[in-house]
């Protein structure tokens, strides 16, 4: 501060850490935002679809198929 006052605090685990998880909606929103800022940005619709597939990865028969659509869309 200008008057020399120092404020300190301790932040435990970052938001998104397993001990402070994001809600599903916030996780998807973060993914879409990051995907849109990538070197090869994904359009919102493609990022949304990919997020859904990634969140259902344990139900996928072929992990490679999760990304096939996103490359075509980007």
CB atoms near residue 44 (< 10 Å)? 12
The pTM assigned to this predicted structure is: 0.68
Going residue by residue through the chain, which has 74 residues, state the pLDDT in tens, using 9 for 90 and above: 899 999 999 888 988 899 999 999 999 999 999 999 999 999 999 999 999 999 998 888 887 877 775 554 44
Please give the Cα distance from 26 to 38 (Å, whole number): 18
- Kindly list the domain boundaries of the chain, sorted by start residue: 24-73
Q: Give CA 26 to chain center in angstroms.
A: 8
Q: 65: helix, coil or strand?
A: helix
End-to-end CA distance of the chain: 46
Please give the Cα distance from 64 to 60 (Å, whole number): 9
């Amino acid at each position: 501060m200008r008057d020399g006052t120092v404020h300190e605090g301790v932040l435990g685990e970052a938001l998104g850490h397993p001990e402070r998880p994001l809600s599903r909606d916030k996780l998807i929103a973060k993914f879409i935002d990051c995907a849109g800022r990538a070197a090869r940005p994904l359009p919102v619709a493609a990022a949304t679809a990919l997020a859904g597939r990634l969140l259902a990865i344990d139900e996928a028969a072929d992990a490679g198929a999760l990304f096939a659509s996103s490359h075509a869309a980007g």
